[in-house]
């Protein structure tokens, strides 16, 4: 299998070299996975999932040996903080923190009942927001085969809390329940629950000396970020990694432009130079430059212009690559329209 994969990789490189092409890796916009009305911009954020006495279960070799209070609340806070950081990227929402009293929160129920229409209306009016986003349930468990020590540390607010320290790897499992409420329709418009798991290892200095690993810092942050990223992509437009093929060229001029682009990443400058070659008397050079103008247009956020350039490239030479890229661009045009609608762009 590895030989086949290696052969395919070599073949791909050979084909790209033969047609003077290369790939550019970039981030491409994607719409949210669910529909949230664009008028919902200011959103109140609430932790209804865990209180000071909510506990995380510690398993050693499959047997529950300890129940640590406070860790689920910490996990909920870190997850919400991670979500707020990611939302800042496209500014789809503006979050407003709403303090919630979870002092009587019981672990017997995974989540409280959803807010009623009256409660949604009251909270949105009191905090002047268009909607509510709440973590309403959260389960945290940690499994290990090593020793577990429970120690007291200060949290971000300076309060003393208990956290476990481990001497072997831990398997951390985090299950949040999200609910999104629309302040306009006064209804819950999304409910989402998923379990995230991560494996984390300790640092070993020598066979007889090991560093303790504090789950409240390393692994808990990592898995909270994972949960936040997943829900962010569900409710907000976001970026995803992808690649686009463009032609390095068959002439000194084209190769020079490509070399400059690969060094600076400046698509605007590359486009200006390719533009001059779209009227070249050399048909192949003219095709490469015209096709590359389509790629540059997309990289600069103009997919409709990219489609126009692809149509011109097809008139010069009707290659399969033009048809393949045309399918991608037509999808991107639709995606931009959806994203603009989600962001409330007219």
101-108 long-range contacts (CB < 8 A, ≥24 apart) are: 102/47, 102/48, 102/49, 102/50, 102/51, 102/52, 102/54, 102/73, 103/51, 103/52, 104/51, 105/48, 105/50, 105/51, 105/53, 105/54, 107/53, 107/54, 107/55
Q: Are strands 131-144 and 55-60 parallel, antiparallel or unpaired?
A: parallel
CB 181 within 8 A of CB 118: no
If pLDDT is split at 50, 70 and 90, which confidence band does 11 have? very low
Mean pLDDT, rounded, for 22-50: 93
Residue with tokens 């959806």, as numbered in its chain: 338
Mean pLDDT, rounded, for 309-335: 95
In the chain the beta strands, taken as DSSP E runs, fall at 21-30, 42-47, 55-60, 63-69, 94-98, 131-144, 148-154, 160-166, 170-182, 187-193, 196-200, 204-206, 209-210, 213-214, 238-247
User: Helix, strand or coil for residue 169?
Assistant: coil
Considering only residues 213 and 174, tell me which one the structure prediction assigns the higher pLDDT. Answer: 174
pLDDT of res. 172: 84
- Return the CATH fold of 242-343: 1.25.40
Closest CA to 277 of 266, 292, 262: 292
Mean pLDDT, rounded, for 243-248: 94
CB atoms within 10 A of CB 56: 28
pLDDT of res. 31: 93
SS3 percent helix, strand, coil of the chain, rounded to 5, is 40, 30, 30
Domain spans in the chain, listed from the N-terminal domain onward: 42-238, 242-343
At residue 155, does pLDDT exceed 80? no
Residue with tokens 């103009």, as numbered in its chain: 302
Contacts of 143 (CB under 8 A, 6+ apart): 59, 60, 62, 170, 171, 173
pLDDT in tens, 78-122: 999 999 999 988 889 999 999 998 888 777 788 999 999 999 999
pLDDT of res. 51: 80
Name 200's bridge partners: 170
pLDDT of res. 154: 60
pLDDT of res. 211: 37
271-275 long-range contacts (CB < 8 A, ≥24 apart) are: 271/296, 271/297, 271/300
């Amino acid at each position: 299998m590895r030989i086949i994969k290696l052969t395919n990789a070599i073949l791909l490189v050979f084909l790209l070299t033969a047609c003077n092409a290369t790939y550019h890796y970039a981030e491409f916009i994607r719409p949210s996975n669910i529909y949230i009305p664009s008028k919902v911009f200011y959103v109140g954020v609430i932790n209804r999932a865990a209180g000071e006495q909510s506990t995380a279960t510690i398993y050693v070799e499959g047997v529950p040996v300890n129940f640590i209070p406070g860790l689920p609340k910490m996990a909920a806070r870190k997850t919400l903080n991670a979500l707020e950081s990611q939302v800042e990227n496209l500014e789809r929402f503006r979050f407003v923190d709403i303090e919630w009293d979870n002092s009587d929160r019981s672990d017997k129920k995974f989540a409280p009942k959803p807010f009623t229409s009256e409660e949604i209306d009251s909270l949105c009016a009191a905090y002047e927001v268009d909607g509510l986003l709440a973590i309403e349930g959260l389960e945290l468990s940690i499994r290990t085969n090593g020793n577990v020590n429970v120690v007291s540390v200060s949290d971000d607010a300076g309060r003393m809390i208990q956290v476990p320290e481990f001497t072997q790897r831990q398997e951390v499992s985090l299950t949040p329940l999200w609910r999104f409420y629309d302040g306009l329709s006064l209804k819950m418009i999304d409910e989402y629950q998923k379990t995230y798991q991560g494996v984390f290892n300790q640092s070993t200095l020598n066979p007889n000396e090991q560093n303790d690993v504090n789950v409240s810092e390393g692994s808990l942050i990592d898995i909270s970020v994972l949960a936040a990223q997943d829900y962010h992509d569900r409710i907000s437009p976001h970026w995803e990694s992808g690649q686009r093929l463009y032609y390095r060229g068959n002439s000194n001029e084209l190769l020079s432009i490509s070399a400059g682009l690969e060094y600076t990443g400046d698509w605007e400058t590359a486009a200006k130079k390719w533009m001059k070659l779209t009227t070249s008397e050399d048909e192949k050079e003219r095709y490469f430059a015209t096709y590359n103008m389509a790629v540059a247009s997309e990289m600069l956020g103009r997919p409709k212009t990219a489609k126009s350039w692809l149509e011109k490239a097809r008139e010069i030479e009707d290659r399969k690559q033009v048809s393949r890229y045309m399918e991608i661009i037509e999808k991107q045009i639709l995606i931009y329209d959806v994203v603009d609608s989600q962001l409330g762009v007219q």
